Structures are given as C-alpha cells and as structure tokens.
Amino acid sequence: MTPKILVIEDAHALRKDIIEMLSFEGFDVRGAENGLRGVQAAREYHPDLIICDIMMPELDGYGVLTELQKDTLEATIPFVFLTARTDKGDMRQGMELGANDYLTKPFTANELINTVRIQLKKRDDLTKVSQTSLDLLRDNIILALPHELRTPLTGILGFSDILASDSQRMSADKIAEMAQYIHSAALRLYRLTENYLVYAQLEVILTDPKRTQSIRQFTTPDPRFVVENTILQKATEAQREADLVLNAADNVDIGILEENLKKITEELADNAFKFSQAGTAVEIASRVENGYYILTFVDHGRGIPPEHIRDIGAYNQFGRKWYEQQGSGFGLAIVKRLVELHGGEVDIDSFPDHETRVTVKLPLAAVEVGVP
C-alpha cells in the first residue's frame, strides 16, 4: 500500500512544496494549515508519517504531538518536526514528547525524502518485529495452553467420575489417593488461572504511569523472612530440600510490595527446581549492593539457549516440543514485569546443560530525610 503522509505547516508555500516533492516520490500526501486542523486530519486520515512545523498559531507542534499521544492509534505514528531552531533544548523537548526526528529549515529535497524513507523503514521494521512476536505468541498459545488446561481437567473429571461411581467398593486408602490426584490437578489449574490474571493485570498497570508510581511507594521491611519461607516451601513441594543451598542477606527495607516479592521468589525458585535434576544443587542467595537488594537463583539444569532469552514471555515455554514439562511460560514473564514495575532489573545468563543464573535487582526503599 502507498504510504500516507500528513504535512502540518502554516506557511502555505512551504506546505505546498513539501506536498509536491513527496507526491512526486509516489507518496499519498495531505496537508493541514495549522495545529488544530492537523490533529483533526491525523484522526481522520490515519497517516503512516506526520511532518509537523513547531511554530504555528492556535496549536504549536508540541501541542499537536501531545494531543495525538492521547490516542491509541495516533500515538504510534512516526513524527518528524520541522523547525528553524537549532537549539538542543528545543530538540530535547520534542524527543521527550515522543518525536522521532527533526528537519531544520531550510532543508533540501533529498534531506526531506531520506528522512521520510528512514522513518517509514523503521516503522515497517517495528511492524515486522511485532508481527513475529504475535505469531510466536499465537503458536505457543496453540501448543501450550490447551495442554495446560486439558491435562488437569482430564485428571479431575476422570478421578472424580471413578469416585462417584465406585467409591463404595474402594478402600479408604484408594479414595484418599484419588482425592490427592484431584487436589494436585486443581492446584495446577488454579495456578494457571492465577498467573494469567496476574500477567494481564501487570500489562494494564505498566501502561498507567500514575498507578505505577503509586505502587512504587510500597516497601517490604523484612525481605529475608519472605524470601526464606517462600524458597523453603518450594523446595519442600519439589522434594528437593537436600539440594537447596540458601544464603539470605540481613534484612533491609526494599521498594516492593511484599506479595510481589513473594511472587518473584516463588516463580524463580519453582523454575530452578522444575528444570534441574534431583541431586543437583539449587543455589539461592541475596545480598545488598550499591543501593539494590540482589537475588540470585542458580540451577544446573538444561538451561535456555542464548537466542531464546530475549523472547521470554507469556505462553512461551522453550523446549516443550522436545521435553515433557508443565507450565505455560508465565513465570519468567511475570517476574520481568513485576521487577520492571518496581524499577528494578532482571538479568539471565544461561549455559545449556551446565548452569542458569537469574539475577534480580530491586531498589532499596527511599530514606526520607529528617524522618527518624
């Protein structure tokens, strides 16, 4: 399809020249004579690129960009400012608002066309990356989610049907065994549902700066207690208490909700035990360093290939085609989102069939000056 370009420029002659130059290159071009008309045209025309003057009556270029950033569709359109100014402060202001590039007046036809082609190529490249991610997500949903839903449901339905029809002829031990199978399957289904809801909620929160900032005000004053208890519980569930090497730092206040710290610890400990063999060490430690509370999880399982680490996300479980394993791939995705929510960092180093090390850095709680 022919790329559509909107030119917002109050100088009639310049606007006409830009439209003619771009039309000659085969683009579908429309013009708007001021900022207010430009915002209206962008919402009606849905261009692939906007070229906008900064100094205009009624609504300047910064105002146009700010207004379009409010719209879901228009917020992602590449935006190029036209300006006679060369002040770095003005350029910084535009970039902070979301501008992609600047053209300084006067400019040549080649400069204009090259800028347009570069920005359109960047847009196309981002679209391809997004489409690839969506395709990967779709494929993993098709592969993983039906299995994760059907397996526990099949167990629940099968064993409950046996209990309903034959319980009178069964021993108490057999009934208890089947009840335990039903309970385990229900817990697996519950965890999948819970993780889905947590992940969806995080995606919404991270798009809302006010909610993000509000959540970052919370602290956990006793992280060692939370971390140790959660890890010990996971080791017991996996029957890997003998493999656990735990070294937790002294307590400090850290800037994270206690329930979110527990969730991070729970998911990473669960993965460390799940993807390593019994009899191999799972080393978990915490320390305080350079204003951060740092958690490390090390296991000696099959690991993650380097090219796959960047693609970690929901419904994305690497190796499902080759290994029998439980899980939807939500764990690491949730960890990354929770750590980002609280202004921290996650680093993953993995050497297949040797070692996987996940490091989580969470900021210490801010100390208020003058408060004892």
pLDDT for 229 equals: 94
Tokens of 340: 């980002």
Segments of 300-354 assigned E as strands = 345-351
Residue 117 lies in a domain: no
Q: How many domains does the chain have?
A: 3
Residue 54 lies in a domain: yes
Please check whether residue 48 is in contact with residue 123, taking contact to mean a CB–CB distance below 8 angstroms. Answer: yes
Residue 252 has pLDDT above 60, yes or no: yes
* The domain boundary residue, chosen from 155, 173, 206: 206
Residue 134 lies in a domain: no
Whether residues 201 and 225 share a domain: the answer is no
Q: What are the pLDDT digits (tens) for 328-365? A: 457 888 898 899 999 999 998 888 888 999 999 999 98
Tell me the residue range of the domain where 21 lies: 4-107
Q: Quick one: average pLDDT of 246-255?
A: 86
Whether residues 236 and 342 share a domain: the answer is yes
Residue 135 to residue 141: CA distance in whole angstroms = 10
User: Could you give the 3-state DSSP secondary structure of residue 150?
Assistant: helix
Listed in sequence order, the DSSP H helices in the chain are 12-24, 35-45, 61-68, 88-97, 109-166, 172-205, 209-215, 223-237, 258-274, 306-309, 330-341
pLDDT for 369 equals: 37
Cβ burial 175-202 (10 Å sphere, 16+ → b, else e): eeebeebbeebeebbebbeebbebbeeb
Residue 302 has pLDDT above 90, yes or no: no
Partners of 80 in the β-ladder: 51, 101
Residue 108 has pLDDT above 60, yes or no: yes
pLDDT for 50 equals: 96
Average pLDDT, the chain: 85
Beta strand pairing status for 345-351 and 355-363? antiparallel
Choose between 234 and 76: higher pLDDT: 234
Tokens of 191: 């965890």
pLDDT for 70 equals: 85
Choose between 252 and 142: higher pLDDT: 252
Cβ burial 228-260 (10 Å sphere, 16+ → b, else e): eebbeebbeebebeebbeeebbeebebbbbbeb
Residue 241 has pLDDT above 80, yes or no: yes
Residue 250 has pLDDT above 90, yes or no: no
Residue 355 to residue 357: CA distance in whole angstroms = 7
Residue 126 lies in a domain: no
Residue 372 to residue 362: CA distance in whole angstroms = 23
**Residue 202: which CATH number?**
1.10.287
Choose between 237 and 74: higher pLDDT: 237
End-to-end CA distance of the chain: 65
**Residue 54: which CATH number?**
3.40.50.2300
User: Could you give the 3-state DSSP secondary structure of residue 218?
Assistant: coil
In the structure, what pLDDT confidence band is assigned to residue 326 with cuts at 50, 70 and 90? very low
Q: Quick one: average pLDDT of 290-300?
A: 94
DSSP characters over 260-294: HHHHHHHHHHHHHHHTS-TTS-EEEEEEEETTEEE
Whether residues 278 and 300 share a domain: the answer is yes
Residue 180 to residue 161: CA distance in whole angstroms = 14
Q: Quick one: average pLDDT of 165-185?
A: 91
User: What order of strands is seen across the sheet that includes strand 101-104?
Assistant: 28-32, 4-8, 49-53, 79-83, 101-104
Q: Quick one: average pLDDT of 181-209?
A: 84
Whether residues 183 and 216 share a domain: the answer is no
Q: Quick one: average pLDDT of 211-228?
A: 90
Beta strand pairing status for 101-104 and 79-83? parallel
Handedness of CA 165, 169, 171, 172 (dihedral sign): positive
* The domain boundary residue, chosen from 58, 86, 107: 107
Q: What are the pLDDT digits (tens) for 47-73? A: 999 999 999 988 999 999 999 988 877
Q: Quick one: average pLDDT of 114-134?
A: 83
| Cβ neighbours around 55 below 10 Å, total | 13
* The domain boundary residue, chosen from 107, 130, 152: 107
In the structure, what pLDDT confidence band is assigned to residue 325 with cuts at 50, 70 and 90? very low
Q: Which of 105-109, 199-203, 225-229 has the lowest mean pLDDT?
A: 199-203
The reported pTM is 0.59
Q: Which of 166-180, 250-264, 306-320 has the lowest mean pLDDT?
A: 306-320
H/E stretch holding 361 = strand 355-363
Please check whether residue 286 is in contact with residue 294, taking contact to mean a CB–CB distance below 8 angstroms. Answer: yes
Residue 12 lies in a domain: yes
Choose between 74 and 354: higher pLDDT: 354
Q: Which residue in 343, 210, 187 sits closest to 270, CA to CA?
A: 187
In the structure, what pLDDT confidence band is assigned to residue 322 with cuts at 50, 70 and 90? very low
Please check whether residue 274 is in contact with residue 290, taking contact to mean a CB–CB distance below 8 angstroms. Answer: no
Tokens of 325: 């394993």
Whether residues 355 and 270 share a domain: the answer is yes
